[in-house]
């Protein structure tokens, strides 16, 4: 049996340790490169990243937009699928949720009876139930009027109500279904832009770009996988966060069947 001197044992042990150390260094170097295997957008400056995202969004044919928007009119929760010739999805305001469907210029609103019976309508506008029961005898007592209103709301329950284009609410409601309008109003950053952190959102690798100091001008996360689409946008001042997904994924759009539709003529009932 050969007896190794201490120095020999040390040299033999040092060799595999050195190899392991070299391998770990190589792996660490690979792992520390967040742009490895990406579309390369993360290597650009902040302004170029924002421009790439804007260009990709402008050229897109469809997108799903979900999240919350805060404005002077309140807080809106959106879950909309959008494309150039229409949209479908839902909008929640306070405790009321309604569905919107737009095919071309034809816009439909669908909600349950509770939505149409809502009593927070402006005082100078009739409620939906009141409009639907307008043919009732003006001398009827309040109980009869309430019953008529409830009956009318029941008729509207889960029906598509066509929004007249001359109605004041048409433009506002259509805004929730307009892909270009929503994206133009959401994606733009304000102030000097700066690169933020790398992240992963819904399984998609992203690079962040912030507008203004500490993101007060908005915060945009851009995909590092494939086309550099916007993935998430946080509006400045805590005015909401939206997630953008299913870019260029088409979906069917068709006007509802006649048996599912009510046409109120020139003006939509007020809620």
| Residue 131 to residue 161: CA distance in whole angstroms | 13
Least confident of 78-87, 134-143, 184-193, 259-268: 134-143
Please name every residue paired with 243 in a beta bridge, in sequence order, or none if there are none. 66, 232
Which ranges constitute the DSSP H helices of 32-163?
Answer: 46-59, 113-116, 128-132, 142-156
Report the first-to-last Cα separation within the chain, whole angstroms.
97
The residue with tokens 């660490």 is 28
The residue with tokens 């190589």 is 26
| Residue 194 to residue 177: CA distance in whole angstroms | 31
- pLDDT at 131 exceeding the cut of 50: no
What mean pLDDT comes out for the span 120-129?
35
Highest mean pLDDT, choosing among 7-11, 112-116, 181-185:
181-185
What was the pLDDT predicted at 258?
86
| Residue 159 to residue 247: CA distance in whole angstroms | 30
Pairing of strands 204-211, 261-263: unpaired
pLDDT digits (tens, 9 = 90+) for 58-112: 999 999 999 999 988 789 999 999 999 999 999 998 888 999 999 999 999 999 8
Q: Using 50, 70 and 90 to split pLDDT, how confident is the model at 262? A: confident
pLDDT digits (tens, 9 = 90+) for 7-62: 554 445 444 545 445 545 444 445 578 899 999 999 999 999 999 999 999 999 99
What was the pLDDT predicted at 5?
58
Centroid of chain to Cα 268: 26
Q: Which two three-digit tokens encode residue 227? A: 């086309």
Q: Using 50, 70 and 90 to split pLDDT, how confident is the model at 142? A: very low
Beta strands in the chain (DSSP E): 62-71, 74-83, 86-93, 96-103, 106-111, 159-162, 193-201, 204-211, 219-223, 230-234, 240-245, 261-263
pLDDT: which is higher, 233 or 23:
233
Q: Is 218 left (phi over 0), alpha (psi -120 to 50) or beta?
A: left
């Amino acid at each position: 049996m050969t007896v190794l001197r201490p120095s020999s044992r040390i040299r033999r042990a040092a060799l595999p340790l050195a190899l392991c150390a070299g391998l770990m260094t190589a792996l660490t170097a690979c792992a520390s490169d967040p742009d490895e295997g990406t579309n390369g957008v993360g290597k650009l400056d902040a302004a170029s990243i924002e421009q790439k995202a804007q260009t990709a969004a402008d050229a897109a044919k469809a997108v799903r937009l979900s999240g919350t928007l805060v404005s002077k009119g309140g807080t809106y929760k959106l879950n909309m699928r959008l494309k150039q010739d229409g949209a479908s999805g839902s909008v929640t305001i306070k405790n009321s949720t309604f569905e919107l469907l737009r095919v071309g210029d034809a816009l439909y609103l669908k909600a349950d009876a509770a939505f149409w019976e809502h009593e927070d309508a402006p005082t100078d506008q009739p409620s939906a139930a009141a409009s639907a029961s307008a043919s009732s005898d003006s001398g009827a007592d309040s109980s009869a009027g309430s019953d008529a209103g409830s009956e009318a709301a029941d008729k509207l329950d889960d029906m598509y109500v066509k929004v007249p284009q001359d109605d004041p609410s048409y433009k506002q409601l259509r805004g929730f279904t307009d892909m270009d309008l929503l994206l133009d109003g959401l994606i733009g950053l304000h102030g000097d832009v700066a690169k933020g952190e790398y992240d992963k959102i819904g399984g998609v690798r992203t690079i962040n770009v912030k507008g203004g100091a500490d993101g007060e001008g908005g915060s945009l996360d851009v995909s590092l996988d494939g086309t550099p689409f916007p993935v998430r946008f946080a509006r400045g001042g805590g005015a909401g966060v939206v997630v953008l997904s299913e870019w260029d994924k088409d979906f069917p759009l068709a006007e509802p069947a006649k048996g599912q539709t009510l046409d109120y003529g020139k003006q939509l009932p007020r809620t």
